Amino acid sequence: MTTAQTQQITTAMRERRSRFVGAILVALSACCFATLGIFGKLLMARGLDLQSTLAWRFGGAALILLFWMLLRARWRIPLAQFAIAFAMGAIGYALQATLYFVAMDHIGVGLTSLLLYTYPAFVALLAWLVDHERPTRRRLVALGIAFIGTSLAADPRGPHPDMVGLVVGLATGAWYAVYLTVGTRLVREVDSLAASGYVCLGAAASFLTVAIGGHGLDLPRSGVSLALVAGIVVVATVIPIIALFAGMRRLGTPRAALLSTLEPVVTVALGAMILGERFGASELGGGALIVAALILLQVGVSPASGGPDPSFAGRQEDARGPRMRS
């Protein structure tokens, strides 16, 4: 075997190992993001209101991410981009998180997560309506499947006949799509970790202001509450953000986006195991269709290139900067 052949084999093995590690990191990110609703429900059950819960979440995450950014010298971005990222957190992401937690309180963690994951369909619709991007046949099929799945999952005659929760849950997915679409236009060529840190900082400032302006910031008053706060900060926010970025560098955006579909599945499973949530047949069928539509969008094929759908994959990649979970 020649030296060149040995080097090729070594390089190929290194790339496979890197992709494997990337897949593990993205799957870890999805599973960690899936715990958000669980930690949120348990914290609010222990007396913390919505504003305080989210103030602790984003405040703690912002501090850790800012420290990480300083260590890695990744905190410098143009002042205008900082202002945009901060405003996106204080307004756009704060509203997104509020909608998610309100829906979660009405219809449970699992169904809220499934309705949130209608956002790729809304992103595709916005691209069609706003950017006049002609949808591919695969994308049209995916949108149809997502519509049917949402109709089944959000059926008010099902086990969760809470119209407020169902409407707010759908609004969560729609608003997240607007947030991502606007965010990708405003935050460009900015380090994704820095953008996430400053979005967290903006959201923390927003929720802290509302909490203090109301009855005050609720404090965790027991060891269990402190552990839950640490969980929502570290497990549900910081680890998945860092793991996602590290995994995407190794795996690439289309594969990472596909693996991220683990999140609603894991959320439903955790909701059932920890919170005792139950689903009817229509909700389970609708949830399966939503996930199927999401996968179909992720692996969509562009007629021109034969590769991953560049419009959708590009949005996913751009959105990872200011992207967290609700």
Q: What is the DSSP string of 290-320?
A: HHHHHHHHHT-B-TTTSSB-HHHHHHHHHHT
Using pLDDT thresholds of 50, 70 and 90, give the confidence band for residue 254: low
Per-residue confidence (pLDDT) for residue 63, from 0 to 100: 95
Q: Is the per-residue pLDDT at 321 higher than 50?
A: no
Classified as helix, coil or strand, 120 is helix
pLDDT tens-digit series, residues 47-85: 999 999 999 999 999 999 999 999 988 888 888 889 988
Domain boundaries, the chain: 24-319
Per-residue confidence (pLDDT) for residue 140, from 0 to 100: 82
Are 197 and 69 in contact by the 8 Å Cβ rule? The answer is yes
Using pLDDT thresholds of 50, 70 and 90, give the confidence band for residue 163: confident
Q: Quick one: which of 87, 83, 117, 124 has its CA closest to 100?
A: 117
Structure tokens at 76: 């410098």
Cα separation of 55 and 37, whole Å? 15
pLDDT tens-digit series, residues 95-148: 999 999 999 998 889 889 888 888 888 888 888 887 777 778 887 888 888 888
